[in-house]
Chain A
């Protein structure tokens, strides 16, 4: 049984159809890359999966539970965590407090939460800014704090919305290395939304391509990169080298 199963999900904002009968699944421990042009519906799909947006049609199931019965604040308890394209941080709380809050909801014990928070701080090289307020930190570090908070929740399913956007080349390499290692160590399933096709191809087991709210291709990173529909809609027919 897949860990997450999204079946026939449709979302419209006014007259704009953001997702149209989208069906996909993610297995335990699998990294699913989700790519597509701007406005393709990638973030909307993550918003549906994290229950910030309710679909007009379709279902999404985590194991044998329909997530439609749950609110966003209940998902951490089910093992779902996410990061945002624009980091959503608490201006009045320290970096350590961010991680502790996330860990408390998953471990339910204060001591364990403190330990988990400090482990994740070290893992993502945030130890030096543990006591800092995140809004005073550079944007690349803020993105890492946003990611670290999701990781501190010890999820079974991690939803990452453009985690490498705005990062330099070296930081992207470092992120890709971390993601591969994290997945190997934690066995956590990941949906990775990213514009950097090389990064997605290097980290994902499977790639799904969205365009105008519909899935136009799905398969291994290599197969997707050769798919004519993808070349047409996303990568550009003339140069299939990447976007």
Chain B
């Protein structure tokens, strides 16, 4: 086995895994806070990435500024979905399944709108950073992979600090842990739900913007990324934020190993294999706490 190839595969896998992890973090954050699996997550990421495309490519903004503006759009869109659709549905006693169907409807609507506004021809999306690859001994790391890794590590660290040390983060952890008790101590749970949707949507949009230069941009292109985000979330545990990070990294590495030493078909289907195997063998994932149900 060529160690140089192996190290390239591992680093490349971790870089892809960082993007999966960001996608998974958004899904887990929303699910853990509100009990809703967001099937519109990929489409919110897609539309936000299209907004970045429109600003950077069509309006000529610097790509970083366009990306930041698109993240603001994603936050707003997430909050609007929660405040404008899910909260009224909850108020009318909609079931969790009903809320999940609302997210599916939101996703399909956004997908259709993206097709109407930007069309279905594949568009190239600019890299956020360009430059020569980093060379360390035998190892060569392209700059986009460095950006993915840096973004993944930095965002995970910021999220950790936010939840650990800030008043708002502690309040969000309280809602994640026990909604009734959180209301009891005066935490505005509905606002925390909206914040979770905003933050979760931003995380999905970051993943979309990082992946778009490689995947290219088209309304259905993020489906694969959403499925990998789901696989990472299920692998790590749907209720575990550290699990989402670990699941993303592991899935990225496994995919690259499978593609390099197995077949490209195996790489393409690995996410589905992971979802099925984890749900059968360890339904609460690597780091998830699981939910105890009375028999």
Contact = CB atoms under 8 A, between A and B. Distances in A.
Q: Do A and B bind each other?
A: yes
A149 interface: yes
Contact of A52 (B170, B174, B180, B186): B180
A104 B167 CA distance: 9
B109 interface: no
B178 A149 contact: no
A90 B177 contact: yes
A101 B170 contact: yes
Interface in B160-212: 167, 170-171, 173-174, 176-178, 180-190
Given A52-B180, A92-B176, A92-B177, A153 B170 contact: no
A53 to B, nearest CB: 12
Which of B167, B171, B184 has most chain A Cβ within 10 Å? Answer: B184
A105 interface: yes
Given A88-B180, A93-B177, A102 B185 contact: yes
Interface residues of B, number: 19
Nearest to A101: B185
A101 B180 CA distance: 14
A76 interface: yes
A191 B174 CA distance: 26
A74 B189 CA distance: 10
Contacts of A153: 185-186
Q: Which of B180, B186, B188, B190 has the most CB of A within 10 A?
A: B186
Contact of B173 (A90, A102, A104): A90
Nearest to A78: B186
Interface string B41-52: 000000000000
Nearest to A50: B184
Interface in A51-104: 52, 71-77, 81-82, 84, 88-93, 97-98, 101-102, 104
A88 B186 contact: no
Contacts of A90: 173-174, 177-178, 181-182
B184 A88 contact: yes
Contacts of B170: 93, 97, 101
B186 A73 contact: yes
Nearest to A99: B185
A101 B182 CA distance: 9
A84 B170 CA distance: 22
A76 B185 CA distance: 6
4 A-B pairs closest in CB distance:
A105-B186, A76-B186, A88-B181, A90-B177
8 contacts: A71-B190, A73-B183, A73-B184, A73-B186, A82-B184, A89-B181, A92-B176, A93-B173
Given A71-B183, A82-B184, A98-B185, 7 more contacts: A76-B186, A84-B180, A88-B181, A91-B177, A92-B176, A92-B177, A93-B177
